[in-house]
Amino acid sequence: MKLNYIEAGQGRPLVILHGLLGSARNWGGVAGALASHHRVVAVDMPNHGASPWSEVMDYPFMAREVAKFIENSFPVPVDLVGHSMGGKAAMVLALTRPELVRRLVVVDIAPVRYAHTFAPYIKAMRAAPVGTATRRGEVEESLRAIIPDAGVRAFLMQNLEGQPGSYRWRANLATLGAAMDDILDFPPFADGTTFGGPALFLHGDRSDYVLPAHEDVITSLFPQAEWQAVEGAGHWVHADQPAAFIQALAAFIQR
């Protein structure tokens, strides 16, 4: 699978993995801010953006595809950042291929099963009249009953492409909907499996995705784990507080 990506800058490689229903282009601002010291590469995950589609969408599959991308693109190890779904994929990659990862940054997610399903969003997106709408506003309006939050709708609408009368979703909604149980979960690892490198768990102080109750399982897999909360940020930390997020990320990867 040839993953699509965007890149900026020169220097030590920094690879970014977006979350569910996101894309590489969501990270353009972060890439630009760090480009003076790093070759920043934001990847479209499988079934997202301009990357190929697949019927499989679990974390071992995602980690294998990203590992192949890293091996074929960079001198290793790289610094690896993952948000939400991308954070889980990054953790699995670090645990299975630790030689590829110098420093790991996991953004607002823990290696646990969640109930924070995006299934209603995907259902609403699949029901939207993308093939007949004469303007983008019609598609967004169709999402409003299920998704009242304007910010969430705007985030999802970044997946819409095409022209009036022939819009389409860039994400493979059928596969993502079918794989939701795998996406919510985290694969089991044998006792004693760890990533021994530096790891930062960077989360929003207004988010409920990373909790004190998760510290034991995080530490068991990532014994060098550090935690840092970004004040005023929810789950989309990099969008809610971009300056503080970039500052924290840069301080960690430039050590």
Interatomic CA distance for residues 79 and 249, integer angstroms: 11
How confident is the model over 58-82, as pLDDT tens digits? 999 999 999 999 999 999 999 999 9
DSSP-derived secondary structure for the chain: ----EEEE--SEEEEEE--TT--GGGGHHHHHHHTTTEEEEEEPPTTSTTSPP-S---HHHHHHHHHHHHHHHSSS-EEEEEETHHHHHHHHHHHH-GGGEEEEEEES--SS------HHHHHHHHHS-TTT-SSHHHHHHHHTTT---HHHHHHHHTTEES-TT--EESS-HHHHHHTHHHHHS-----TT----S-EEEEEETT-SSS-GGGHHHHHHH-TTEEEEEETT--S-HHHHSHHHHHHHHHHHHT-
Interatomic CA distance for residues 47 and 78, integer angstroms: 23
Interatomic CA distance for residues 222 and 101, integer angstroms: 13
How confident is the model over 83-124, as pLDDT tens digits? 999 999 999 999 999 999 999 999 999 999 999 999 999 999
Closest CA to 209 of 120, 112, 122, 121: 112
Interatomic CA distance for residues 112 and 205, integer angstroms: 19
Find the largest Cα–Cα distance for the chain.
56
The pTM of this model reads: 0.96
Give 255's pLDDT tier (boundaries 50, 70, 90): confident
How confident is the model over 15-67, as pLDDT tens digits? 999 999 999 999 999 999 999 999 999 999 999 999 999 999 999 999 999 99
